[in-house]
Structure 1
Amino acid sequence: MSDQDLVKLERRAVAGAGDGAAANVLWITINREERRNSLNEQVVRTMIRGIEQAMASGDVRAIVLTGAGDKAFCAGADLAKNAQGAVFAVDYSQPRSYIVELFNCMEACTLPIIARVNGAAMAGGFGILCACDMAVAADDIRFGTTEPKIGMTPMMILPYMQRLLPPRQLQEMCITGEVFAAPLLLEWGIVNYLVPRSELDSKLDWLLSRVVDKSPTALRIGKQAFHSMRDMNLRQALEYAQVMIPVMASTEDAREGMASFQQKRSPVWTGR
């Protein structure tokens, strides 16, 4: 099966751009429904390529990550032919694993990444959900870190889980490997919205419409600032902020935003 078959990369137009036009959104769909949209190196590298192409295109405003079908968002690593643990083998000649490359790519992405959680989010798939900027989920899905059931711990996704989950709940997930019901996704702050399955796409479109009408420049700089400040102490974050404010104010989009506000019209963003 080709990389294009394993992962679908599709541009879709979403209404709501500031000038009244539609905006492009890149959908990255893991297309392995028969394997519960599990991950292998081909899948991950195609996802990385999609994210990089979207950032380089200049006309994509957001990225949606999802899985094919309605049973699984992503079940984590594909264990089908790896009963001896080969899926966890490391090539020590390489500086990092492809999963780390994916997370680094998502972290560096200057476009909003939204998870469309259409089914079970397990193990590494749950980690991908946690690494996204926002998420909308169907209210009948299940999630968990099942690694303890095969003698492992969710090591690779732990940094993202620690940023989102309450410590006690995180410890329970990591120790027991149990599967949890969808309502806890919202209670624990893992997703933004939890909706009936029939409303999943309409809620996603609603969220996207509130993203793509904003300044692409503000979103890029804002995402960079968000990730940078998260790793700073308070004093460092405030110093960084006072430097970045005049940088943002000097952009074309900031000037257009101020002018449109004063003239009481919709802004026309250039992304510069």
Structure 2
Amino acid sequence: MTARAYTVVQAASGGGVLRLTLNNPWRKNAIGPVMVSELLHALEAGAADEAVRCVVLTGAGDAFCAGGDFAQMSGAAEGAPQPEAKGDYADLLLALANSSKPIVARVNGHALGGGLGLVAASHFAIGARGAKLGTPEINVGLFPMMIMAVLQRHVSRRKLLEMMLLGQRLDADEAVQCGLLNKAVEPDALDAAVGEVTSTIAGKSPIAVRLGLEAFAAQDDLDLESALPLLRERLAGCLATDDAREGLMAFLEKRQPRWSGK
């Protein structure tokens, strides 16, 4: 992966995992245009790197992401360095949701507002007990407009309206119950829980994972009559891969498959 200098994001890869850390702990990793642009660049680089099998998204310090950077929204950050613009927050949510490599949100602390949107747009989300997840925008005269689109994919209509209109903050176990997290664990078990997901993904066929996530994104908003023909075509494409042939042969021969990624 081509090295790129970042200011508020740390990118480190190893063992098939690209770890992206929101690195602005003195502002609780609040997200603004600089961080959005750097995350988009890092995700693009990870997508192009064949060695990367999945991406872990987390925060530095004791927060995952406290939401939008109000200082930058209000123009108080005028004069801050502005990198080459890669896109805005909506582009970032789309990049996460449509990623052909699994995104695992490692929710090490509070994920509020725009930070909760990053969690909801990821494919997996594992949170540490003690973290709060919520939509406090209403308390400052705003509304969680863009994250509404990704939150409604996980949370029931009634619960989502309750969260947004009351500015609720859920604990990690409550977030599991309403579908925002896959699992809640004690803080000292967070890395092991995330590692279990990433190591399991590493044992799967890379091309099957990619084709599956691409198909999942393509059919996500379609009605049944439109989705099934599309998925029929995608299944045919998957069956035509070397890995599908290897996987079926390995099953018949009762051995572990040897994936080529083709």
TM-score using structure 1 length: 0.88
Paired residue for 1:188? Answer: 178
Q: Does 1:49 align with 2:41?
A: yes
The superposition leaves residues 15-43 of structure 1 with CA deviations (integer Å, 9 ceiling, x where unpaired) of: xxxxxxxxx10000001111101112111
* Structure 1 residues 3-14: aligned runs within 5 Å: 4-13=6-15
Paired residue for 1:38? Answer: 30
Q: Are 2:40 and 2:87, in contact at CA under 8 Å, matched by a contact in 1?
A: no
Deviation at 1:245, TM superposition (A): 1.6
Secondary structure in 2 matching 1:245: helix
Deviation at 1:86, TM superposition (A): 8.8
Q: Does 1:126 align with 2:128?
A: no
Q: Structure 1: which 5+ runs fail to align? A: 14-23, 88-93
Deviation at 1:85, TM superposition (A): 8.7
Q: Are 1:138 and 1:195, in contact at CA under 8 Å, matched by a contact in 2?
A: yes
Paired residue for 2:82? Answer: none
The superposition leaves residues 121-160 of structure 1 with CA deviations (integer Å, 9 ceiling, x where unpaired) of: 0000001100000111101111111111111110011100
Of residues 11, 19, 32 in structure 2, which corresponds to 1:27? 19
Q: Does 1:140 align with 2:130?
A: yes
Q: Are 1:142 and 1:182, in contact at CA under 8 Å, matched by a contact in 2?
A: yes
Secondary structure in 1 matching 2:192: helix
Structure 1 counterpart of 2:9, one-letter code = V
* Structure 1 residues 53-202: aligned runs within 5 Å: 53-69=45-61, 71-80=62-71, 82-83=73-74, 98-202=88-192
Q: Distance in 2 between matches of 1:234 and 1:83?
A: 44
Task: Spell out structure 1 runs of 4+ moving beyond 4 A.
Answer: 81-87
Deviation at 1:104, TM superposition (A): 2.1
Q: Are 2:64 and 2:111, in contact at CA under 8 Å, matched by a contact in 1?
A: yes
Deviation at 1:3, TM superposition (A): 5.3
Of the structure 1 ranges 71-80 and 47-56, higher mean CA displacement relative to structure 2 is found in 71-80
Q: Distance in 1 between matches of 2:196 and 2:74?
A: 43
Q: Distance in 1 between matches of 2:125 and 2:147?
A: 17
Paired residue for 2:242? Answer: 252
Deviation at 1:81, TM superposition (A): 5.6
Residues 4 and 86 (structure 1), Cα distance of their counterparts in 2 relative to 1, 3 Å cut:
closer
Q: Structure 2: which 5+ runs fail to align? A: 79-84
Secondary structure in 2 matching 1:66: strand
Aligned-pair identity in percent equals 34
Structure 2 counterpart of 1:44, one-letter code = V
Deviation at 1:271, TM superposition (A): 1.4
Secondary structure in 1 matching 2:144: coil
The superposition leaves residues 166-187 of structure 1 with CA deviations (integer Å, 9 ceiling, x where unpaired) of: 1111001111113222211110
Q: Distance in 2 between matches of 1:5 and 1:85?
A: 18
Paired residue for 1:19? Answer: none
Residues 257 and 149 (structure 1), Cα distance of their counterparts in 2 relative to 1, 3 Å cut:
same
TM-score using structure 2 length: 0.91
The superposition leaves residues 94-133 of structure 1 with CA deviations (integer Å, 9 ceiling, x where unpaired) of: 9x96101212222331000000000000000001100000
Structure 2 counterpart of 1:269, one-letter code = W
Q: Are 1:25 and 1:64, in contact at CA under 8 Å, matched by a contact in 2?
A: yes
Q: Are 2:172 and 2:181, in contact at CA under 8 Å, matched by a contact in 1?
A: no
Deviation at 1:214, TM superposition (A): 0.5
Q: Distance in 2 between matches of 1:210 and 1:134?
A: 13
Structure 2 counterpart of 1:53, one-letter code = A
Q: Are 2:32 and 2:72, in contact at CA under 8 Å, matched by a contact in 1?
A: no
Q: Greater relative contact order: 1 or 2 (C-alpha under 8 angstroms, separation 6 or more)?
A: 1
